[in-house]
Amino acid sequence: MAGKIHDVVVVGAGNAALCAALAAAERGASVLVLERAPEEESGGNSRFTAGAIKCVYDGVDDLKKLMPDLTDQEIAMTDFGTHPESRYFDDMGRETQYRCDPDLTEILVRRSRDTMLWMRDKGVRFVPMYGRQAFKFEGKFKFWGGLTVEAVGGGPGLVESLTKAVRKNGIEIAFETRAISLIADDEGVKGVRVHHQDKTSDVMAKTVILAAGGFEGNAEWRCRYLGPGWELAKVRGTRFNTGDGIRMALDIGAMPTGNWSGCHAVSWDRHATEFGNLQVGDNYQKHSYPFGIMLNANGERFVDEGAEVFSYTYAKYGRVVLAQPGQFAWQIFDKKAAPYLRDEYRFKGMTKVRADTLEELVSKLDDVDPVRALATIKAFNEAAKTDVPFNPNVKDGRATVGLAIPKSNWANRID
């Protein structure tokens, strides 16, 4: 590493980093990738995801180009719909309250399809997200939310495919090599100071790309920027994301930007490990709450579980759960909801209780007021409209009436 001046040094080895490395090498650059983690834990948070990527598509023909293995049978039994640029732009604006960077958003949306085709050509295989973004209803699968495609093998598969492509293109990855600081002077950035095998050295480069992720693995930074209590949050992803890339940039005068007090916060098993567990993957997440209700320690509902399809609320409802007494909530479902629960609800290591009656159920909910919980469930059942048909694939308008906190869709009685 030391002694040679590289054209490009990429800090990080997740999806963004490895794609950047491949793109630079494609243009003839000599590239070195620096990864803090050992190879078996490499890939940052990309390794801990489902490997789903949102892209523009105008119909099944676009998806067939992206997924050549898509069968005629799959096409016949599926309504893939469309995900035009206009809807993607609308999603970005609505979910960020129109605070997203317009130039970067335009690149993200308008180049999404071509980028995924480019990734496919580099060796990443894609399949439809049947298990997470579509339900079979009245004999046919229907996709919703615009998130239709995932990498084969999920996040680990995505990282492994890109790592293989990087090596195939002659790019070196230095594992267990932590970037400490940027080497910079009045003329700009000249390289990276790194720590590897108990030694510190300088890696010189014409260009440095920081793709080292966020600071979710840094408890002190979580509390400093996200607020009190966040040091106690479970971390869905890697323990190696401690904000090094952000700190290095700030140290040489980069301008802080973005939503520093916000983050991607999902519902996560109360008894999960402190950091992501590669044996469990993303099975600690619990995203089927639109088809049930959530109760806090006081036995009360605290959010509209059916405000939107989960893909528009899951990354912000984790913050709402963390703000509840004891920083937890129980998700409540009955047998009618069982066919629509995602695979993570069948994970053997999850926190779960079952009962044959509501009275028995509330007595089993650890740390929850059972009297208030029972009253809340009964009030919800009485308020749930039954004259509107249930449909898991669309916002069906099957709502509650008269509750202080409504449920706007999929309000099935828990009976």
pTM (whole model) above 0.85 = yes
Tell which residue, 359, 384, 354, has the closest CA to residue 293: 384
| Those residues with Cβ within 8 angstroms of residue 294's Cβ, 6 or more apart along the chain or in another chain | 301, 302, 303, 305, 321, 329, 330, 331, 332
Architecture of domain 5-48+162-251: 3-Layer(bba) Sandwich (3.50)
Beta strands in 239-323 (DSSP E): 293-295
What percentage of the chain carries pLDDT values higher than 70?
Answer: 99
Determine the pLDDT at residue 136: 84
Q: Where are the alpha helices (DSSP H) in 148-232?
A: 154-168, 219-221
- For domain 265-415, which CATH number applies: 3.40.50.300, 1.10.1040.10, 3.30.390.30, 3.90.700.10? 3.90.700.10
pLDDT tens for each residue of 200-243: 999 999 999 999 999 999 999 999 999 999 999 999 999 999 99
- The Cα 355–Cα 172 span in angstroms is 55
Q: How many CB atoms lie within 10 A of CB 313?
A: 22
Q: Where are the alpha helices (DSSP H) in 134-263?
A: 154-168, 219-221, 244-251
What tokens does 215 get?
């600071």
What tokens does 134 get?
């579509």
| Those residues with Cβ within 8 angstroms of residue 298's Cβ, 6 or more apart along the chain or in another chain | 325, 368, 369, 372
pLDDT tens for each residue of 350-407: 999 999 999 999 999 999 999 999 999 999 999 999 899 999 989 999 999 999 999 9
Residues in the chain: 415
Give, in degrees to the nearest 5, the angle at Cα 362 between 357 and 364.
Answer: 100
Helices 154-168 and 15-26: angle between axes, nearest 10 degrees: 20
Count H helices and E strands in the chain, helices first.
13, 14
What tokens does 400 get?
């509650």
Determine the pLDDT at residue 2: 63
Q: Answer yes or no: are the C-beta atoms of 381 and 352 closer than 8 Å.
A: no
Determine the pLDDT at residue 1: 63
Determine the pLDDT at residue 172: 97
Contacts 24+ apart (CB under 8 A), 322-328: 322/229, 322/230, 322/233, 322/265, 323/229, 324/296, 324/297, 325/296, 325/297, 325/298, 326/296, 326/297, 326/367, 327/229, 327/232, 327/233, 328/270, 328/296, 328/297, 328/367
* Residue extents of the structural domains in the chain: 5-48+162-251, 52-152, 265-415
Instruction: Give the residue ranges of the chain where pLDDT is below 50.
Output: none
Determine the pLDDT at residue 260: 93
